[in-house]
Amino acid sequence: MRNSKNRVKIGSFHVTAYEQYKLIYLATLLVLLAFAYTFYLAK
């Protein structure tokens, strides 16, 4: 029974693709902010 539950979790992982895009979007924003902060400190 636990194996079937794990399979359901893996299957529902595709449903959270929107959350994956949100995480990637936030990660890119953080990287851009870090670069801007370093350039600001360089000046």
Say if pTM beats, i.e. exceeds, 0.85: no
For the stretch 1-43, pLDDT in tens is: 556 555 555 555 555 677 778 889 999 999 999 999 999 999 8
Query: What pLDDT is stored for residue 30 in this prediction?
Result: 97
For the chain, what is the domain count?
1
What's the start-to-end Cα distance of the chain, in Å? 60
- Distance of alpha carbon 43 from alpha carbon 40, whole angstroms: 5
Residue type, 27: A
Domain containing 36 equals 2-42
Residue type, 26: L
C-alpha radius of gyration, the chain, whole number = 18
Tokens encoding 41? 């400190």
Tokens encoding 23? 């995480």
Query: What pLDDT is stored for residue 2 in this prediction?
Result: 58
